[in-house]
Every structure is written in structure tokens, then in C-alpha cells.
Structure 1
Amino acid sequence: MVTIKKIFGIILTFTFLIGAGSIYANVDSAANLSNWYENSFQKKSSELGTATATGIFKTIRNANVFVEGTKETIGSIIESFRDEQVKKVVAEIVDYQNDIENQIDTTVTELEKENFDDYAEKAKVEEEIEQDIENILEEVLNEQ
């Protein structure tokens, strides 16, 4: 009996192995791989491409927002700097104008204190002295 059971077990195992081998041989492994590629890889690849494109567009949009904000900030900084410089230059011009006006006023006051006739007479005397000095120098140089 033991041998019949062994023979029956061997036949059953052999039949099972032959059936499993023929089932596996009938399955088209290339079709399975192709189906997996179509169903899994292509879908994931498409999702990844979409996510990448969306990320790039968001990054570009954020960069544009940043650039616009930076342009506005720089524009306001430039305007502020320009306004400060204009105020500074205007103040310097006003100070210079006031200095010139003060100098003119001082000169006018000094000229008003002096008698113009005395000034003209002093100038005439100085001119005569200079002429006399030139004549003396000319005589001395001609003698030698």
C-alpha cells in the first residue's frame, strides 16, 4: 500500500508540474510586460511630467512676482534718493545764494562808508606814484 501511495503521489506531483509548466508556457510574458508598462510606467511618467511642468510654471510665476516686486522697490528707492539729492542740492544753492547776497551787502556797506571822491583821489595818487616809480626805474636802467 505504501508503494501505491508513493506511486500515486509521484503521478499526482508529476501531473501538477506538467500542468503548471504548460500554463506558464501558454502565458505571453511579453504581453504581461507590455501591459505593465502601459498601465503603470506610462501613467506614472505622465503624472511626473505634469507635476514637473506645473512646478516649473509655478516657479516662473513666483520669479515674475519677485521681479515685479523688486522693480517697484528699486523704483521707490531711486525716487527717494533722487528727491533727497534734489533737496540737498537746492539747499546748497540757496546757501550759496545767501552767501553771495551777504558778500554783496557787505561790499555795498563798505563802499557806502567810503567817500567815492576820496577813493577816486586815492586811485589817482596811486597811479601817479606807480608812474613816477616806472620813470625812475627807466632812468636808472638807461644810465647803465
Structure 2
Amino acid sequence: MGTTFALVDPGGKLAGWYENHFKEKVHHLSKTTTTELFSSLEKLQKELQVLKTNLTKQLDNYEVNQSVETINSIKKHQENQINQLHTVTEEIGKQHKEKMQAYIEKKKEQEAEQLTKDIEDLLTELTQE
């Protein structure tokens, strides 16, 4: 009697092994790549959130600083206007006093002249009579 050997296709088994091995590697690479991609996207999202927070803080600080500078500028402008008004008011007061003094002196001179004329007229009348 003879022995029967099953036909074994070593080339088919090797091709099947390579195909299965290739599929496992592709699956593993796909899984690793997807995981790394999601991890990178999560990191990027966190970095963007930090950047957004920092930018918001910087904008808030800029807004506060601009507001403070504007308020200080307005206050300084108001103080300058008030100082100018005080200066002008003092100058007008001095000029008014000087003009009033000159007016009073002129009136005194006019009254003295008028009084002198009235006395001369009265003396002239009395001496003619």
C-alpha cells in the first residue's frame, strides 16, 4: 500500500500569509495614524483655545489702556481749558479795574473842571452885579 500525501500549496500559503500580514500592518498603521491625527487635532484645538484666551486678554487690556489714556487726555484737556479761562478771567479783571480807575479819574477831572467853571461863572455873575 502506498502513502497519500495531501497536496500542499506552499506558494498559496505564503501569498495568504503576506496578504494577511499586509492587512494587519495596514490596519495597525491606519489605527495609529488616526489616533495620532486625533491627538494632534486635540493638541491644536487646545493651543487655539489658549491663543484665543490670550488674545482676548490682550484685547481687554488694550481696551482698558486706551480707555484710561482717553480719560486722562480728556481730563488734561479740561484742566488746560480751565487754566486758560482763569488766566483770561484774571486778565479781564485787571483790564476792567484799570479802565474803571481811568474812568473814575477822568470823571473826577471833569467834575473838578465843571466845578471850577461853575465857580468862575458864579464869581463873574457876582462881580458884574
TM value normalised by structure 2: 0.68
How far apart are 1:32 and its partner, in Å?
4.2
- Select the residue among 24, 34, 37 that pairs with 2:42: 34
User: Residue in 2 aligned with 1:131?
Assistant: none
Q: Matched residue pairs, number?
A: 109
Which 5+ residue runs of structure 1 have no aligned equivalent? 1-10, 122-144
Q: What's the CA shift for 1:30?
A: 4.8
**Pairing 1:99–2:109 present:** no
Instruction: Decide which of 57, 68, 89 is 2:64's aligned counterpart.
Output: 57
The gaps in structure 2 that reach 5 residues or longer are: 1-17
Counterpart residue number, 2:92? 85
Identity rate of aligned residues, in percent? 8
Alignment deviations for residues 78-135 of structure 1 (CA, whole Å, 9 cap, x no partner): 100000011111111111111111110001111121235728x9xxxxxxxxxxxxxx
Aligned alpha-carbon RMSD (Å): 3.0
Aligned partner letter, 1:23: L
CA distance in structure 1 between the aligned counterparts of 2:124 and 2:98, rounded to whole angstroms: 41
Question: How does the TM-score come out when normalised to structure 1?
Answer: 0.62
For residue 63 of structure 1, report the CA deviation from its aligned partner. 1.4
